[in-house]
Structure 1
Amino acid sequence: MSYSVEDTIKILEGKFQNIKFNFKEFEFGGYIPIFFISPKDSKSLEKYWVEISNTIAIDYQARLQDEFRAWNIYLFFITNFPIKKELKYKIENDTFSSRKIVVENNVDENLMINEHIINIITVSNNQNEVRDKKFTPNKILNTSLKDKILKKERVTKTAGEAYQELLEELKTSENEI
């Protein structure tokens, strides 16, 4: 028996009444199921995130026929309140069933997808501004490493000397180390 995503959302809303759920499927090399989960407060998030993840895994993910979908499920936990670092770390580093991301500001769903799935980061409204910036080498590094050959060995004598020279130069400049 296969549950539809609508059935899964109804199950979630029935179990977790103080949490809002939304679903979107995004095409990116295949279809990626994305659940947007918005708890009312941090206690609800802390208390229910594991159970929500398990419910999605059992009632939705386990019933998927498409392996790409099954292996690429995202859960975005969206809050309008600060989250303890420990809780955010615990949620985002849980590897069971899906990728979990905690977003502390209620951001547009498409922006979350761009940043966390496609890895597009909006740096500026003017895209040409970013492209026009030219690379300029760091004067200290450039001077210290000029004409030195650093081989792919653990630490060559030249690499060690260059490192020491850089440290000394950085100590005498305004840079912090």
Structure 2
Amino acid sequence: MQLSRNDSNIRFLTDAFPSVDFRLYQSNDPDRFISCFIATFPDPDPEPDAWLEITSLIAVDFQASLTNDFATWNIYLALVFPRPISRHLKYKIESNRFALRKMVLTSKEESLEKSDLVLETIEDMILGNDLKLRPASSESLPFSGSSFVREIISSTVAIPADTKEKSILTRRQHIAELLSRISQP
């Protein structure tokens, strides 16, 4: 999945905050629709509640018009500031759960203001593009094949699930036995 720029729906933001540079990136996957707004502030000390007003505008003018539930809950706002903001404000912004998820980025260098680097950072944060998945070999697992799993499933059916002392001890013994088998070479 990739995010592509689509600034056709952001006039409501640029009209309200003309000094802030807004961009909108959306996923190219119709089944997993993601929208990410980027707001780059030119002022090193922006209005403290500007992020809250931007969030509200996105919720009312953009989010409310979406019909897909998945798309409605997968909206992100990246706020890019020209220098670090206070830890308290950053925490307040990023932990706010109203309407969409928010991220705070700091452009310590001019290069972060370039859309490619901002987009790469956001893709890493949202899509996990920096994650590398490697298949595990069956030899590295403590059990090979599915016979061990089948044995676990079939043996747990006979274990009582009530809260009697005897049942609790039986479950503990069974778990201990399974753990010892897994840890053996």
State the TM-score, normalized to the length of structure 2.
Answer: 0.58
C-alpha contact 2:76 2:101 (8 A) present in aligned 1: yes
How far has the Cα of 1:38 moved from its partner?
Answer: 0.7
Residue 81 to residue 117, structure 1, CA distance change in 2 (3 Å): same
The equivalent residue for 2:12 is 11
The equivalent residue for 1:109 is 118
The equivalent residue for 1:56 is 58
The equivalent residue for 1:22 is 23
How far has the Cα of 1:39 moved from its partner?
Answer: 1.1
**Deviation string for 1:78-103 (max 9, x for gaps)?**
12211111111000000000000001
How far has the Cα of 1:121 moved from its partner?
Answer: 3.2
Within 5 A, what are the aligned runs for 1:118-129?
118-121=127-130
How far has the Cα of 1:26 moved from its partner?
Answer: 1.9
The equivalent residue for 1:168 is none
How far has the Cα of 1:45 moved from its partner?
Answer: 5.0
The equivalent residue for 1:127 is none
2:39 aligned residue (32, 37, 44): 37
- Quick one: which amino acid aligns to residue 40 of structure 1? P
- Quick one: which amino acid aligns to residue 12 of structure 1? L
Q: Secondary structure at the match of 2:49?
A: helix
Give the unaligned 5+ runs of structure 2: 1-5, 133-171, 173-185
- Quick one: which amino acid aligns to residue 39 of structure 1? F
2:74 aligned residue (72, 90, 93): 72
C-alpha contact 1:30 1:69 (8 A) present in aligned 2: yes
Query: Matches of 2:79 and 2:47 in 1, distance apart?
Result: 8
**Deviation string for 1:120-150 (max 9, x for gaps)?**
3389xxxxxxxxxxxxxxxxxxxxxxxxxxx
- Quick one: which amino acid aligns to residue 25 of structure 2? K
C-alpha contact 1:42 1:81 (8 A) present in aligned 2: yes
Within 5 A, what are the aligned runs for 1:83-102?
83-102=85-104
The equivalent residue for 2:180 is none
C-alpha contact 1:39 1:45 (8 A) present in aligned 2: no
C-alpha contact 2:38 2:80 (8 A) present in aligned 1: yes
Query: Matches of 1:87 and 1:66 in 2, distance apart?
Result: 32
- Quick one: which amino acid aligns to residue 21 of structure 1? F
- Runs of 4+ in structure 1 deviating by more than 3 angstroms, as ranges, are 120-123
C-alpha contact 1:33 1:72 (8 A) present in aligned 2: yes
How far has the Cα of 1:17 moved from its partner?
Answer: 1.5
How far has the Cα of 1:42 moved from its partner?
Answer: 4.1
Q: Percent identity?
A: 30
State the TM-score, normalized to the length of structure 1.
Answer: 0.60
> What number of residue pairs does the alignment pair up?
120
